[in-house]
């Protein structure tokens, strides 16, 4: 009974990921074909699709390798991962390739990737490792919470300098949730948020983060009924799709009206061509993946696996929500790919690594913990740290 339940979760989890990847393959081709033909002048509508298939194949190989490699080894190298993440973020600021005024990419052998997609995974591994350590005084603000918050903010600032507002916001949100479920006191978290609000104006002035203010101004323009061009076109596409859509390949916004239609605004093309009904199904896939990921994390055999599984699951789901929120105009405009669906090799590879770790956590769950979990129910099973009493 237990084995069949575990296998069922794993199979459903894999099917959810493969479904999103398959949708991504179709929609990347549909949303990029006209742009590829008109702008690249390569007389091929499939150039972006071909570029996307390479990281998908590499990602599947990485996924299979990581899925059969015990995730506990990650804890041993957590500090090395943290330092590597810092080095990647610093390296891209110094030697990165600037595109559209932002240094987010490193180009190797003609292919570019975004270090932030991997650096955030390294940060989450380190935070989960430290929070799962019995020697860590989690309730001590000065020696427990503050160092971890400081490390997270250092990552966030380096990402903001690129500039990359959406990724910085994602890292901050997910790290904050990890600290919360990892046992940090609520009053420490709220105090740090209050402190953050106080120092944001100083950071904006000292580090020349004026673009953040511009993003906020554009967002308020949207509220006042004067949305920026990208959001205008995105909402036009979503509205014209209606309930059933214009039909796959029949979208008009991808005809050079909506910038980055194959990556940062791909959900708008999905809603335009496939309609609200199918777009809602895709959103439901992310929700289903989130529920399965939480189940996997709660089944984990140790604290590190529970915290890491929770964080990787939340990271995918938060990025999906942020992407959709930006496309719908309820969040400030910023570039953020839709996990497994948008065009972008580094995002795909990082997400394949994440789901590979999640599957490995599931495979390493011990039988006794699974029996306790399934016999006692969702709310009475093995508890994660967020059930602890807080002051």
**What tens digit of pLDDT does each residue of 222-249 get?**
777 677 888 889 999 999 999 999 999 9
Q: What is the pLDDT of residues 72-89, one digit of tens each?
A: 999 999 999 999 999 999
Q: Up-side HSE of residue 5: CA atoms within 13 Å toward CB?
A: 15
Distances (CA, A) of 183 to 25, 201, 203, 263, 390: 40, 30, 29, 36, 8
Lowest mean pLDDT among 31-40, 72-81, 194-203: 194-203
Q: How confident is the model at residue 207 (pLDDT cuts 50, 70, 90)?
A: low
Q: How many domains does the chain have?
A: 1
Per the model's pLDDT, the better-predicted residue between 240 and 138 turns out to be 240
| pLDDT, mean of residues 330-355 | 91
The yes-or-no verdict on residue 385 having pLDDT over 60 is no
In the predicted structure, residue 2 carries a pLDDT above the cut 60: no
Mean pLDDT score of the chain: 85
pLDDT at 271: 96
Please tell me which residue, 162 or 269, carries the higher pLDDT value.
Answer: 269
pLDDT the model gives residue 14: 92
| pLDDT, tens only, 146-191 | 899 999 999 998 998 888 888 998 999 999 999 999 887 888 888 8
Q: Which of 15-19, 80-84, 131-135, 168-172 has the lowest mean pLDDT?
A: 131-135
Alpha carbon distance 293, 278 (integer Å)? 23
Q: How confident is the model at residue 40 (pLDDT cuts 50, 70, 90)?
A: low
Nearest Cα to 32, choosing from 244, 191, 221, 259? 259
The percent of residues in the chain predicted with pLDDT above 70, rounded, is 85
Q: What is the rounded average pLDDT of the residues 246-264?
A: 92
Chain length of the chain: 391
Answer whether residue 124 shows pLDDT above 80. Answer: yes
Residue 263's domain comprises: 2-387
Q: Judge whether 45 and 33 are in contact, CB under 8 Å.
A: yes
Q: What is the pTM of this model?
A: 0.89
The pLDDT value given to residue 208? 62
Q: Does residue 368 surpass a pLDDT of 60? A: no
Average confidence (pLDDT) over 318-337: 89
Residue 210 pLDDT exceeds 70: no
Three-state DSSP class for residue 97: strand
pLDDT at residue number 4: 45
Return the DSSP state at 185: -
């Amino acid at each position: 009974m237990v084995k069949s339940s575990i296998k069922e979760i794993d199979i459903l989890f894999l099917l959810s990921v493969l479904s999103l990847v398959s949708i991504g393959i179709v929609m990347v081709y549909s949303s990029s074909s006209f742009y590829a033909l008109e702008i690249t002048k390569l007389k091929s509508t499939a150039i972006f699709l071909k570029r996307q298939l390479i990281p998908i194949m590499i990602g599947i190989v990485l996924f299979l390798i990581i899925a059969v490699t015990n995730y506990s080894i990650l804890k041993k190298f957590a500090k090395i991962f943290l330092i590597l993440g810092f080095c990647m973020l610093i390296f891209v600021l110094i030697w990165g390739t600037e595109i559209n005024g932002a240094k987010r990419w490193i180009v190797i052998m003609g292919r570019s990737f975004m270090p932030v997609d991997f650096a955030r995974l390294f940060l989450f591994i380190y935070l989960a490792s430290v929070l799962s350590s019995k020697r860590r005084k989690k309730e001590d603000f000065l020696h427990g919470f503050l160092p971890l918050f400081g490390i997270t903010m250092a990552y966030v600032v380096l990402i903001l300098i690129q500039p990359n507002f959406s990724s910085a916001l994602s890292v901050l949100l997910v790290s904050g949730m990890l600290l919360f479920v990892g046992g940090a006191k609520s009053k420490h978290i709220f105090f740090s948020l209050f402190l953050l609000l106080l120092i944001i104006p100083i950071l904006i002035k000292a580090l020349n983060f004026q673009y953040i203010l511009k993003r906020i101004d554009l967002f308020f323009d949207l509220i006042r009924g004067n949305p920026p061009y990208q959001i205008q076109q995105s909402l036009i596409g979503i509205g014209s799709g209606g309930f059933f859509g214009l039909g796959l390949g029949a979208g008009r916004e991808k005809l050079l009206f909506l910038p980055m239609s194959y990556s940062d605004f791909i959900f708008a093309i999905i809603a335009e061509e496939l309609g609200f009904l199918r777009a809602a199904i895709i959103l439901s896939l992310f929700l289903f993946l989130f529920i399965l990921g939480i189940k996997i994390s709660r089944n984990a055999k140790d604290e590190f696996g529970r915290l890491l599984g929770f964080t990787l699951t939340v990271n995918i789901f938060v990025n999906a929500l942020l992407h959709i929120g930006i496309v719908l105009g309820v969040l400030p405009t910023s570039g953020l790919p839709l996990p497994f669906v948008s065009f972008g090799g580094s995002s795909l590879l990082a997400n394949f690594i994440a789901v590979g770790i999640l599957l490995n956590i599931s495979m390493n769950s011990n039988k006794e913990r699974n029996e306790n979990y399934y016999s006692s129910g969702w709310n009475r099973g093995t508890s994660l740290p967020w059930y602890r009493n807080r002051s």
